[in-house]
Structure 1
Amino acid sequence: MIIALIATEKLPVPAIRGGAIQIYLEAVSKLLAKHHQVTVISIEDKDLEQSETVDGVHFVRMNKENYVTGIKKLISSKKFDVIHVCNRPLWIETLKESSPSSRFILSIHNEMFALGKMTDKEGEKCVSLVSKIVTVSDYIGQTITSRFPSAKGKVQTVYSGVDLTAYHPKWTAKGKQLRESIRSQLQLSNKKIVLFVGRLSKVKGPHILLHSLPEIIAQHPDAHLVLIGSKWFGENNVNNYVKHLYTLGAIYQDNITFIKFVEPKDIPKLYSMADVFVCCSQWQEPLARVHYEAMAAGLPILTSDRGGNPEVINEGKNGHVIHQFDEPTAYAKAINSLLSSEGTRDRLGKNGRTHVEGQFGWSSVASNLKTVYENAART
């Protein structure tokens, strides 16, 4: 098959500036290219060629201001069997006009079918034109079918994934070495490390963790919170919310470390230093990819019950779901419990690694997408 994978207009592929969709496309395209002819379309970037072929994948990068126009020109000039559009349902109608014989797959990574983002007419039109709508979680699928029942036969959850070879649990030789090295570099060798990875934004909830620190420190004076991230992908500019976090953090400077934006390729090794991973999302998260990363690194997970986050947690086996998602005390209680028992942390971490190996490696994601594409091409 001849396949086009179309990224949003936000960030380039490969994911040199970060981005869950960009990481997703970079990973699956390499695997799909082993069996099919694959083109990945994204916006241009000063550090990337406008056109190149890497690992069998042809990358085409276009001007952001004329992105959709450029895509239309490309897909009308080349016959693609399948065109996979990421997270932009309102592009489907105009792209279909440019390549009417192609089968369109739409992947939805956020609540893109919500009121305010499209009219009923636009949503129905999109549903009628696509062969399949793949979603990153059951939760996102339900946001579509609850508003557009006509989509029920087309919506299918295809969970995202992670590069299993890039993450090294502490019980492996590589993981032990990384753990000791990074802790030494950060002067955290004798600390119990609680890790947060994500954008420093209110919806991600890092302020909740900061407010939970006094209760954690009271029971575990050697606890240390490490927050990795910035206000936006690839940027270290500070806004008022980030300033607020830094101000709160200054009160507990012996128990907190901020690490600004880290390139995606350097993220995996940082997980190796941690003892507990926390996702404290306050919004209806589609399903944050940090869950896959934490499991791959062999970390026990505490996550909020928002959106699709709980779907990858087997309660009490690879982590715990925090139902009082906006209560610092709820996080403090769960974190303290885990910090008090290394045996429990190890058990949950090993179960998580087994879980991600069985279901969420990129090879599983690519295989699932390949089946979707092949079925669409046959219809």
Structure 2
Amino acid sequence: MNSIIVTERGSKSVLERPKVAVITPGSFIIPSGRSSSVERVIEKVVPLASDQLNIRIFGLSDRQLPNFGMVGRVPCFRLPGGNRYLQSILQHLRKWHPDTIDVHNRPRLAYQIKSKLPFTRVLLTLHSTTFISTTYSPLSETSRWLNRVDGIVVNSEYLRSELLLRFPGLQVPILVNPLGVSLEDFIPRWTPLGESLRQARLADFGWENRKVVLYVGRLLPAKGVHHILSAWPTIQKCVPDAMLVIVGSAFYGAERETAYVRRLKKLAEPYQDHIVFLPYIEYPRVADCYNLADVVVVPSGEEEAFGLVNVEAMAAAIPVIATNTGGIPEIVADGQSGYLLPPGSLQQGLAEYVSYLLNHEEVRRVMGCAGRELARSRFRWKHTADRWGQLMRGVE
């Protein structure tokens, strides 16, 4: 169907683009450097598909940003949260009549919207196992929610297999769309510019001539930070000039300490000159931290669906030492862009492989460059956006 659309170049006849409503979980305002990875994925992917689709984003309002704004070239409507969120979304959707509604990471919300708009195509984009676990709702109830939508988009084959394992009666199609990274945000470690900036930043911190092991992420038991701290005494003996830099907090953008964080800091006490905790850093400024690193560790638990830290480290040309579990093996090429360790022997494996890489610069360089190329060829937001655009148009 043809229609007249006014563009920056004036009015012209074009084929109308399919309308897609993107629904955020309603937990954080968008855009924001202090939000979760779900909002970051939306910020990065959706604007890149705006040349294919007529998109509107619906998210949470607060007192910092106006109720209407733009995310790139995409209109963003910020709505009251809590119990009012669903009704506010439905009011907009009933007026706009989108062809497809993409609900992010909230199965119940997707179910509620589909129940109210039964003739509209509703997809659920699932980012993790959090909201399909029994701690969130009984499996029977979650199964009812999932079977009501028209399709589920996941970020890894692991997450697809978990859905099928937990819900063997699932009738809807499950589509895999891996996430990406903005290469331009990361200065590769093994370049003259990358090295000069690294030396300057190390000097700013007073860390000249130190070898830096980096952890970036939330400080939660499932993220496995305690494993690298438990391995640290062995690493310190093997590499006396090593430093561990832990960037993050237990909560997004808040520095409240949990019992787990206090436990981590207790483990670090004997190594105060070698272990540093840095607070949560807003994206994309966190990219500067990767430039400091010689090795990035991702000792996550078994349910890490994807792990953006892995592709961010590779974009910075830093080798990754990660757990061989969840969706991580779909990102890190074992022996090429880093090493994958069995979950049952993380402490021993971290001690061995971190020490090895810190003592072998040429291996770090080769692995880092291989990771950068892997990120460039397979894990860019443009790749994710192109696939997402096809899925929103119903092309599988």
When the two structures are superposed, what TM-score results if normalisation uses the length of structure 1? 0.94
Instruction: Give the partner amino acid of 1:96.
Output: K
In structure 1, give the amino acid aligned to 2:117: S
Query: Which residue matches 1:261?
Result: 280
Distance 2:301 2:71 in 1: 38
Q: Which residue does the alignment assign to 2:111?
A: 93
Q: Secondary structure at the match of 2:51?
A: coil
Q: Which amino acid in 1 is paired with 2:39?
A: Q
Deviates more, 1:64-73 or 1:295-304: 64-73
Conserved? CA contact 1:215–1:332, under 8 Å? yes
Q: One-letter code of the match for 1:43?
A: L
Q: Is the 8 A contact 1:208 1:326 kept in 2?
A: no
* Cα distance, 1:295 vs structure 2: 0.7
Matches within 5 A, 1:1-379: 1-65=18-82, 66-111=84-129, 112-115=131-134, 117-119=136-138, 122-151=141-170, 154-325=173-344, 327-375=346-394
> In the comparison of the two structures, how many residue pairs are matched?
377
Contact 2:325 2:343 in 1 (8 A): no
Question: Partners of 1:155 and 1:198 in 2: how far apart?
Answer: 28
More divergent stretch after superposition (29-38 vs 192-201): 29-38
How many angstroms does 1:42 deviate by? Answer: 1.5
1:98 CA drift (Å): 3.3
Aligned residues with identical type, % of pairs: 28
Aligned equivalents of 1:128, 1:243: Cα separation in 2: 42
Contact kept? 1:180, 1:189, Cα under 8 Å: yes
Query: 1:153 Cα deviation (Å)?
Result: 6.1
Letter in 2 for 1:103: R
Q: Counterpart amino acid of 2:330?
A: E
RMSD (Å), alpha carbons: 1.9
Q: Write the distance in 1 (CA, Å) between the matches of 2:373 and 2:318.
A: 11
CA distance in 1, matches of 2:25, 2:383: 23
Q: In structure 2, list runs of 5 or more residues that go unmatched.
A: 1-17
Contact kept, 8 Å, 1:212 with 1:331, in 2: the verdict is yes
Secondary structure, aligned partner of 2:28: coil
Cα distance per residue 1:193-249 (max 9 Å; x no partner)? 000001112211112111111101101100000000011110012222212222222
Report the Cα offset of residue 152 of structure 1.
6.6
Other structure's SS at 1:265 match = coil
Please tell me whether the aligned partners of residues 150 and 172 of structure 2 are also in contact (alpha carbons under 8 angstroms).
Answer: no
> Which 5+ residue runs of structure 1 have no aligned equivalent?
none
The separation in 1 between residues aligned to 2:62 and 2:344, in whole angstroms, is: 38
Pick which of 365-374 and 275-284 moved more.
275-284
Q: CA deviation at 1:123?
A: 4.3
**C-alpha distance in 1 between matches for 2:250 and 2:139:** 33
Distance 1:63 1:174, change over 3 A: farther
Which piece of structure 1 moves more, 20-29 or 62-71?
62-71
* Contact map agreement 1:182 1:270 (CA 8 A) in 2: no
Q: How far off its partner does 1:268 sit? A: 0.8
After superposition, what is the alpha-carbon deviation per residue over 1:160-201, rounded to whole angstroms, capped at 9, x for unaligned?
A: 111111011122344223312221111112111000001112
Deviations 1:260-289 (CA, angstroms, capped at 9, x unpaired): 010112011110110000001134211211
What is the alpha-carbon distance in structure 2 between the residues aligned to residue 164 and residue 93 of structure 1?
36
- Structure 1 residue 325 displacement after superposition: 4.7
Letter in 1 for 2:115: E
